[in-house]
Amino acid sequence: MTAIELRGMTWSDPRGHDPVVAAAAAFAGQEPGVTIRWDKRSLQGFESTPVEELAATYDLMVIDHPHVGAAAGAGCLLALDLHGDAMALTRLQAETVGKSYASYTLAGRQWALPIDAATQVQAIRPDLCPAPLTRFADVLAMARDGRVVWPLRPPHGLMSFFTLAANIGAPCAVTPGPLLPRASGLRVMAALQALADLVDPACHAMDPIAALDALAEGRRFAMAPLTYLYATYGRPGYRPHAIAFHDIPALGAAGPLGSALGGTGIAVSARTAHPQLCTRFALWLASAGVQRGLYAGNNGQPGNAWAWSDPGVNAAVGGAYQQTRLTHEAAWLRPRHAGYMGFQHEGSDILTDALRGRIAHEAALDALDARFNASFAT
């Protein structure tokens, strides 16, 4: 029997690394002679490194869905619907949380399978904030007392812009044209500015992990209004204090709708010498049994709805999945065209400059419109 070693790339947080390493060991037990060796990168690297670079080296990659357009256009990802079992793919599509499966579908092909579902949610310290906040105005009131932490390190300020725009019924565009109506853009900018003026300037250097760490330590902060779900922070003993996750506080009138979708998917390099084997692993990793068992049990944050509905999976993380399910089901899907990631990078800097008083809100919205439309020419 010829030994096969597959190489995979994931991200360094336990949520990204631990479950795929455990899965690789279990899969090797089912596939004698097969080894999967996982490398890892930082959260910032995960959010910014082009998939095309990774596909030249790795067989398997954990990716973020906004990279799909550029990666598919470059021909560096395997179309899993051409290699995977059709019934298994149909079943996974039906079992996905919200738009997670659809986020990896482009031009009629399936470029990755959802293994991790996440979107911006509300995080609270139950000992300091007994109940989740339902209105953005309540967040501002708590921020005036210095009790709010908010991740603003790029691209997370822009993600909050996307979330609030969709929440007020003016979701940002995904095709060329104005990013959103100007009056809506000014309303969102005003809300973001009001909160940015009240939180510690250190928030501008925080990603969600840093913000959740700050929330979980000491007694300074009581809540984070918009931060990506990291359900492991709900586990007793994971950090000094457990965090509870809930639906986002609304700026608009329709409840916790429109949060900017995140999460991850498992993709296969088009250059792999083992396309069928890699596809088989991807389907197995995304399946309900693995997601609600081995994956969730090793610090994973599942993308499969059966896991999200499982009482035991929820109990382990303080009910994080049940308590944020509406926000996830009603999340907004970011653009995925080939030039989007360039816009996300530059748009994040524009948004940061506006919130730090370097440019006026009108000028920031003009710049966002211009850069968004330029991204379609990339």
Contact of 212 with 13, CB cutoff 8 Å: no
Asked, for residue 241, whether it belongs to a domain, the answer is: yes
- Is there a single domain that holds both residue 279 and residue 244? no
Per residue, what are the HEC states of 297-335? HCCCCCCEHHHHCCHHHHHHCCCHHHHHHHHHHCCECCC
Residue numbers of the domain that contains 150? 120-260+339-377
The proportion of the chain whose per-residue pLDDT surpasses 70, expressed as a percent, equals 98
Q: Indicate the average pLDDT of the chain.
A: 96
Asked, for residue 149, whether it belongs to a domain, the answer is: yes
Over 70: is that where the pLDDT of 47 sits?
no
Asked, for residue 291, whether it belongs to a domain, the answer is: yes
- Is there a single domain that holds both residue 177 and residue 237? yes
Counted domains in the chain: 2
Per residue, what are the HEC states of 255-283? CCCCCEECCEEEEEECCCCCHHHHHHHHH
Question: At 46, is the pLDDT very low, low, confident or very high (cuts 50, 70, 90)?
Answer: low
Q: What predicted TM-score, i.e. pTM, was given to this entire model?
A: 0.95
- Is there a single domain that holds both residue 196 and residue 175? yes
- Is there a single domain that holds both residue 213 and residue 134? yes
- Is there a single domain that holds both residue 70 and residue 164? no
What's residue 1's pLDDT? 57
pLDDT tens profile 264-316? 999 999 999 999 999 999 999 999 999 999 999 999 999 999 999 999 999 99
What's residue 351's pLDDT? 98
> DSSP readout, 327-348?
HHHTPBPPP-STTHHHHHHHHH
pLDDT tens profile 173-184? 999 999 999 999
